[in-house]
Amino acid sequence: MAPDLGAAPYDAIAPIITQRTKLSYRTARITQEVLFMVAAVMLLSHIGKRTYHTIYNALQTTETMRNNMSEYSTSDLRSQLKIVRHNMANSKEMYDSFVEQERLLQDELNKRIAKAKN
């Protein structure tokens, strides 16, 4: 599905189905598009729910920690600090990945804009 490499692989599904079955191209293509749309909505819904729960749990944990800080032993504080540092490292990796995705998308958009101007 890379740019400038012709049709995307999913564009070949309907013609293949049409060749191997008695379905019309139109029926195969509409069915394909509907199935891909349903899959995308389900995936995005799942990702959205996971993200919401992750953020909600982080906020709840922070609030609980804030309220119980004075009750923690020194050992508890060290353990919590280790957990938080680990979570921060994971979050930084995710952030860096998103930054790279943003850069790739922006670069591709800039290429297309430049190509359209020529």
In a domain, 37, yes or no: no
Residue with tokens 């930084």: 92
- Rounded percentage of the chain residues whose pLDDT exceeds 70: 94
Q: Domain of 85?
A: 72-118
In a domain, 39, yes or no: no
Mean pLDDT calculated for residue range 63-75: 90
In a domain, 62, yes or no: no
In a domain, 79, yes or no: yes
In a domain, 99, yes or no: yes
In a domain, 3, yes or no: no
- Count of domains for the chain: 1
Position 13 scores a pLDDT of 87
Q: Which residues contact 21 (CB under 8 A, 6 or more apart)?
A: 28
Position 11 scores a pLDDT of 81
